[in-house]
Amino acid sequence: MIDMLPGIDCTTSALTAERIRLDVISQNIANANTTRNIDGKPYQRQQVTFETALRRQETGDGGGALTHTVKVAHVENDQRPPVLVYNPAHPDADHAGMVAMPAINLSEEMADLIVASRVFEANLAVVKNSRSMTIQTLSIGKRS
Amino acid sequence: MIDALFNEPNYLAAKKLMDATALRQEAIASNLANLETPHYQRVDVAPSFTTELSQALATQSPFQIGSVQARLEVDTTAVAQNKDGNTVDLETELMEENKNVLAHALEAQLITGSLLRLRLAITGRSA
């Protein structure tokens, strides 16, 4: 398959990675008050780490040496301890009336959410521009 | 034989420039894709390309111009703005991308122009 759109591999991988990140952030926000996970413990905040993968390294024909795609390396549990909140009426309260709540800071999640969507938008702008470049290339030799 | 029609130095140079812009677009796509990757170093078309091309253009030799090759290399002049060691700056990169698209449009028009002039010379009709 010919590479019609320049750099589309990198951009696609970034869009996928950022979407996974958005999924994880929304999961964290949704579970901000989950005191009972599958293992019976409070929900642990999840975190995404990115890493690069070298796409092509050949130098012949001046072709795309050194471009890097991006991928999600891990979705890891954040190791912060749960926050103890006094609420004796809660079904998951211990004998002292303390409930272990997930250590999720909503402001932090919202900031991450905005960054992830900005990066997503930047990559969409690349797709748009690459597309217009390809259209220009295809119209070489036509009278305008 | 017919190759000689397409050996005009300016036409060849425009072709080379267009290859370089396509390559640059790939580099920018890679940089923007790795906006959030720790320790990523931005890549760009090697700065030596323009000097090599203008030197080759000065000789007016189609072979010299044809042998200039654009390569990508790690941009060592970029400095990391954050503690994560990533040297990509979103705004600068988007500006560079827009410039690149315009440069590509210009080069496409140059190539179209020389092809149309060639056709005019062959057929004697502009339409």
Q: What angle do CA A96, A101, A103 make, to 5 degrees?
A: 135
| Chain segment B29-67, per-residue pLDDT in tens | 999 999 988 888 899 999 999 999 999 999 988 888 889
* Domain coordinates in residue numbering, chain A: 8-138
When pLDDT is cut at 50, 70 and 90, the band that residue B6 belongs to is confident
In the DSSP assignment, the letter for residue A97 is: S
- Looking at residue A98, its pLDDT comes to 92
Residue of A59, A136, A140 lying closest to B71 (CB–CB)? A59
CA atoms in the 13 A half-sphere facing the CB of A64 = 23
Contact in structure between B23 and B70 (CB atoms under 8 Å): yes
Best mutation target, B16, B19, B21, B36, to test chain A (most A CBs within 10 A): B36
Contact check, Cβ <8 Å, A50/B74? no
Contact check, Cβ <8 Å, A140/B32? no
Burial A81-113 (b: 16+ CB within 10 A, else e): ebeeeeeeeeeebeeeebbbbbbbeeeebeebb
Pairwise CA distance, residues A127 & A130, whole Å: 5
Domain range enclosing B84: 2-123
A33 touches chain B (CB under 8 A): no
- Looking at residue B81, its pLDDT comes to 83
Contact in structure between A68 and B29 (CB atoms under 8 Å): no
Contact in structure between B75 and B67 (CB atoms under 8 Å): no
- Looking at residue A144, its pLDDT comes to 63
Q: What is the average pLDDT across B71-97?
A: 89
Residues on chain A touching B48 (C-beta within 8 angstroms): none
Q: How many domains does chain B have?
A: 1
pLDDT along chain A (144 residues), means of 10: 78 93 95 88 91 64 67 90 91 90 93 94 93 92 77
Contact check, Cβ <8 Å, B112/A115? no
What is the DSSP code string of B34-68?
TTT-TT---EEE-THHHHHHHHHHHHT-HHHHHT-
State the ipTM, two decimals: 0.82
Q: Quick one: tokens of A41?
A: 């413990």
State yes or no: pLDDT of B117 exceeds 70. yes
Q: Which pTM value belongs to this model?
A: 0.84
- Looking at residue A62, its pLDDT comes to 47
Contact in structure between B26 and A64 (CB atoms under 8 Å): yes
B86 burial type by CB count under 10 A (0-12 exposed, 13-18 middle, 19+ buried): buried
What residues have CB less than 8 Å from A43, skipping those under 6 apart? Answer: A31, A34, A35, A37, A102, A104
- Looking at residue A1, its pLDDT comes to 55
Residues on chain B touching A132 (C-beta within 8 angstroms): 101
What residues have CB less than 8 Å from A25, skipping those under 6 apart? Answer: A109, A112, A113, A116
Of residues B3 and A123, the one with the higher pLDDT is A123
